Structure formats: structure tokens, C-alpha cells
Amino acid sequence: MKLAFGCDHGGFPAKNELIEFLIEKGYEVIDCGTFSDESCDYPDYAEKVCKLVTEKECEKGILICGTGIGMSIVANKISGIRCAHVTDEFSAEMTRRHNDTNVIALGARITSTENIIKLVDIFLNTPFDGGRHAIRVEKINSFDK
């Protein structure tokens, strides 16, 4: 699976460990930045990641900022993206099972790197349940028009 990854300065401290984990698990990762801990604008990185997902160059996207909130807001403004801001294991599982999300947003200032890795692993390895949830996802997608 090919993944797009993006972070701002708030997410930068978790970046290398997460990308290393993903590569060890066999994922191909496109790193959209940022590439330092200097202050930057998270919308720029969310847009790059989401573009790769909507253009189907990557199957899923991972966004990390200080809280994950800003990244999730930006991502959900982009047509074709269903992004969830995730802080716990249950939400990481259910956002895939019930919402078929294609992007996850996390906060490095509120979630440890160890837990970010765990949440991303759950997100990437949980399938969409389909069934009645597919009807709901279709309704969500209808708002993109």
C-alpha cells in the first residue's frame, strides 16, 4: 500500500519514527513534508497529502500536527476526502469500519509517538464493513458535488 504522509512543525517530532515503522511494515511512503521543526502552515501539507489520495497516487493519507484538529479541518474541505481526527484505538478502528475514511489526522502534542504508531497501524489494517455503512458513505460523498 502506498501512503501519503504530511505534518507541520507540531507533528515533526513524531515523523521519522512513524515513517520508519511504516517502511518496516512494507508500506511505500511519500513524504510531503515538512522537513524541519520550523514554524509552517499545516494547510499546505494537508493539501499535498489529500491531493495524492484524491488523484489515487496513494491509497491513504496520514496527517500530523499539534492537535490533529487543523489538519482534519483542511482535509475535510477537499472533495473526495473523508478524514477523521483520531485520539484512541476504538475511533481508529471505527473510522475505517463505518466511515471508510481515507485520511487520518493525529496530534503529536496530545498523543505520544508510541500511540500515534499504534493508531495508524489500526487505521491501516482495519477494513471497511460495507453493508449499511456503504449507504451512509455514499450520502457523505454526495456532499462533494
Q: How far is CA 30 from the centre of its chain?
A: 13
Q: Which of 40, 50, 65, 83 is catalytic?
A: 65
Task: Respond yes or no: is residue 7 known to be catalytic.
Answer: no
Do 44 and 19 meet the contact criterion of CB atoms below 8 Å apart?
no
> How big is the chain, counted in residues?
145
The one-letter amino acid at 39 = S
SS3 of residue 25 by DSSP: coil
Pairing of strands 60-65, 2-7: parallel
Task: Respond yes or no: is residue 32 known to be catalytic.
Answer: no
Do 83 and 105 meet the contact criterion of CB atoms below 8 Å apart?
yes
Active site residues per annotation:
65, 98
